[in-house]
Amino acid sequence: MRVSLQAQYAIAGLFDLAYNGRGEPIQVRVIGERQGIPPRYLEQIFQRLRKADLVTGKRGPGGGYVLVRTPAVITLREIVEAVEGAPSAWVATEPGGTATPHRPDFLWPRLAEQFAAALAQTTLEGLCRDAERAKVRRADAESAMYYI
């Protein structure tokens, strides 16, 4: 099953908020730079995440987005559903395709639901723990100091 680029960007954006934000607002431009995502596209994704009540925006100097709930309770399924809809919508169908009694079309919705169940078992907090174990660098990590 293929995860859309939009879903990948949504996960990456919220991961960045959880891993680097530590409760402080972060601008979409900054997240986009760190994650290699075009900021205008990421802003559109964050509007969907805001409508799904996963993030809230703060205006003005020092503004940006913050998570509405703790990373421990936000699942990857919620994030993907915010941008892609229900798991039944995740299944790609052939444009203009016709049903045939000879294909196992019953399988695709079942696989989408199993994939959604796997995403529901992963929280942003778990993703952050995995990132720490994998030694993913934090945005506020001190850069190495070299003395001569």
CATH code assigned at 45: 1.10.10.10
Could you tell me if residue 69 is inside a domain?
yes
Could you tell me if residue 23 is inside a domain?
yes
**Mean local confidence (pLDDT), 123-130:** 96
| Domain with 28 in it | 5-89+104-133
Number of domains in the chain: 1
Whether the pTM exceeds 0.75: the reply is yes
Quick one: pLDDT band at residue 145, thresholds 50, 70, 90? very low
Could you tell me if residue 146 is inside a domain?
no
Could you tell me if residue 122 is inside a domain?
yes
| pLDDT (tens digit per residue) in 33-69 | 999 999 999 999 999 999 999 999 988 888 899 999 9
Q: Where are the beta strands (DSSP E) in 7-146?
A: 55-58, 64-67
Could you tell me if residue 142 is inside a domain?
no
Exposed, middle or buried, 55 (CB in 10 Å: 0-12/13-18/19+)? buried
Quick one: pLDDT band at residue 1, thresholds 50, 70, 90? low
Least confident range from 7-21, 39-53, 80-94: namely 80-94
